[in-house]
Amino acid sequence: MVTKDRDNVMLKKKEQVKRFLESVAMGIGFFILFGILIIPGLREGMGTALDVVLGPLAAFINNFLITILILAVITGIYTSLIQKYTLNWELMEQSKEYQKQMRELQKEYLEAKRENNKHKMKRIEKRRAEVMRKQTQFSGELFRQQMKPMAYIGIITIPIFMWIWVYVESNPVGAVVFPLLGEKVLSDGFILRLPYWVLWYMICSIPIAQVIRKAIGMRSGM
């Protein structure tokens, strides 16, 4: 009995330490995420600091489009791994199941309304309220689960983006040919004034991320 109580205390302490470390990591991630918007010079500082590592890589490859492709592979790998091992997938599946139930109940309710079946409508409303009550019970934890990987990913991804931003501004790459879009300068803006290198990163990262997720057996859900 004493051993069992000791094990429970140790387990509780480990869980507290884990939650503390998660909170610290999330705090750092959100500081980086929002800091670049409100702290002058933080973007340039991140880019300059990371240039110690990524600058020689870009010089060695001597093709900035390929450099961004390599960075998309790197970010795709650790992003997928972080999502796989930090998300509570059972909770995510439960949320999807509740959403499915709500859609089915909404469909049944509309059918009952067309039939003017008030008894059936009242029964469906009662079932819908119960599903919503259950969904609300874990909505806070679900939100935390969704935000946790975003904060972890931001710790590395945002500085990489800041480095690309600073590098392109300091080392004009010139114009490149995009499929369907023609010749564009990487530093020029397109939708919402985002530079074209962001578009190139997205073109590289989206299919790469899908391949990586499939390779590591990651469930769909995010």
Which residues does residue 184 pair with via DSSP β-bridges, in sequence order? 176
151, exposed or middle or buried, with CB in 10 Å at 0-12, 13-18, 19+?
buried
Cα 207 to Cα 213: distance, rounded to the nearest angstrom: 10
Q: How confident is the model at residue 77 (pLDDT cuts 50, 70, 90)?
A: confident
How much is the average pLDDT of 160-174? Answer: 81
Length of the chain: 222
Higher pLDDT, 83 or 220: 83
The fraction of the chain above a pLDDT of 90, given in percent, is 1
50 alpha carbon, distance to own chain's centre = 22
> Going by C-beta distance under 8 Å and a sequence separation of 6 or more, which residues neighbour residue 125?
109
More confident of the two residues 217 and 60: 60
The token pair that represents 110 in the structure block: 């509309």
Check whether 174 has a pLDDT greater than 50.
yes
Query: Cα(176)–Cα(184) distance, rounded to whole angstroms?
Result: 5
- Please list, residue by residue across 73-84, b when 16 or more beta carbons sit within 10 angstroms of its beta carbon and e when fewer do: eebbeebbebbb
Rounded Cα distance between 215 and 107, Å, is 37
CB atoms within 10 A of CB 134: 13
d(CA 113, CA 124): 11
Work out the mean pLDDT of the chain and round it to a whole number: 76
Q: Which residue's entry shows tokens 């009952």? A: 112
Contact partners, residue 160, CB within 8 Å, separation at least 6: 50, 54, 71, 75
**Domain regions of the chain by residue span:** 2-215
pTM of this prediction?
Answer: 0.65
Query: Quick one: DSSP state of residue 189?
Result: B
Q: What's the number of CA atoms in the CB half-sphere (13 Å) around residue 26?
A: 14
Residue pair 158/46 in contact (Cβ under 8 Å)? The answer is yes
Write out pLDDT tens, residues 7-20: 556 666 666 665 65
Can you read off the two tokens belonging to residue 6? 């000791």
Whether residue 35 has pLDDT greater than 60: no
Residue 195, strand partner residues: 189
- For 126, the token pair is 């009662």
Nearby residues of 201 by Cβ (< 8 Å), 6 or more positions away: 68, 71, 72, 164
